[in-house]
Amino acid sequence: MQPAIAQSPLLEEFAKSAIQAVATVELIERSPAALGDAILRAVGEASRILYAPPHELPSELFSEFVRDRRVRAEPTPEEMVASAAGVTEAFAGVASTGSVCIDISFERTGMVSLLAPLQIAVVAAETIVPQPRDLFRADVLDGRGLERDFVFVTGPSATADMGPLVRGVHGPHKLHIIVLR
């Protein structure tokens, strides 16, 4: 994230931590055009993009993005395991660790955020909390973290089991986070 657009200390810490966890982060205007642009820039030449529609953010925000022919909101099993990118929303972010929290209760969110080599997570700036422990408090984000099935995603999948540190194991090789202003 360019320093100029990090506006609050929490956001700044979030961006710093996420970069430390080897994710990439960008902060954009909250509009369908800006989001569509940002996602398509991130996926680059990908021939197929898995997409799990949001449950927190208004789906109109994704209206520009879904017009792209490569987007699969209802992928076949073959497409599910052979796509280059997966796009989901995150219902929260964590500043101290640079994590995004993905709710996997819905239809395909779990798989879309897991099976493609490039994971893209869209998170609203106001849902970024200071620490992981905040997700276990009834008074933070209406206690959503206490009710849902979700995953703290911190950077891409990684292993040191084969000797040196390798990024990209069973899960995504890259994580790109888009923060909505």
Partner 1 sequence: MASVANPAEITPRQVANKSDKRALLDAIRMTLAVQSPAVRHNTQTFNRNRYAATARLADYDALKDRAREIKQNAIANLPELLRQLEASVHANGGHFYLAKTAADADRYICDVLTRHEAKLVVKGKSITSEETKLNHALEAAGIEVAETDLAEFILQVADEQPSHIVAPALHYSRERITALFKRKFATELPLDTGEELTVFAREKLRQKFIAAAAGISGANLIGADSGSIMLVESEGNIRMTTILPPVHISIAGIEKVVPSRKDFGTFIELLPRSGTGQPLTSYVSILHPPLKAPPFAAPGKQPKPREFHLVLIDNGRNRMREDPVLREALRCIRCSACLNSCANFETVGGHAFGGETYSGGIGGSWEAGTGTLMNARFSELCTGCSRCVNNCPVRIDIPWLNENLRQRMNFEQPGSAGKSMFGAMTGSAVEDRVAPLQKQFFANYHTMARRATRVASVSNAITRLRFVRGLMESVVGLDRRRKLPPFPPKTWEELHRSEPTHTATPAEPSNVLMLADVFTNYGSPERGMASVRALRQVGFNVELSAALPDGRAAMSQGMVATAREQAKVLAATLLPHVESGEVVCVVEPSVLAMLRSDFAHLLDEATWTRFAKGKFLEPMQLVWSAGGDLAGIFPAARSPHGARVFYHSHCQQRTCNAANETIEVLRAAGFDVVTSSVECCGMAGSFGYKHEYYELSMAVGEDLFEQVRAAEKDGPRTLVASGTSCHEQLWAGMGREVLHPAELLMSTVAT
* Binding site residues, partner 1, CB under 8 A: 17, 21, 76-78, 80-81, 94, 96-97, 99, 104-111, 114, 131-138, 145-146, 148-166, 168-172
Shortest spacing between CB 73 and partner 1, in angstroms: 15
Give the whole-angstrom CA distance, residue 108 versus residue 71.
14
- Choose between 33 and 81: whose C-beta lies nearer to partner 1: 81
Shortest spacing between CB 66 and partner 1, in angstroms: 20
Q: Give the 3-state secondary structure of residue 4.
A: helix
Q: Which residues fall within 8 angstroms of residue 9, CB to CB, at 6 or more apart?
A: none
Shortest spacing between CB 37 and partner 1, in angstroms: 28
Shortest spacing between CB 34 and partner 1, in angstroms: 28
Q: Which residues fall within 8 angstroms of residue 121, CB to CB, at 6 or more apart?
A: 88, 89, 90, 100, 102, 113, 153, 175, 176, 177, 178
- Choose between 64 and 134: whose C-beta lies nearer to partner 1: 134
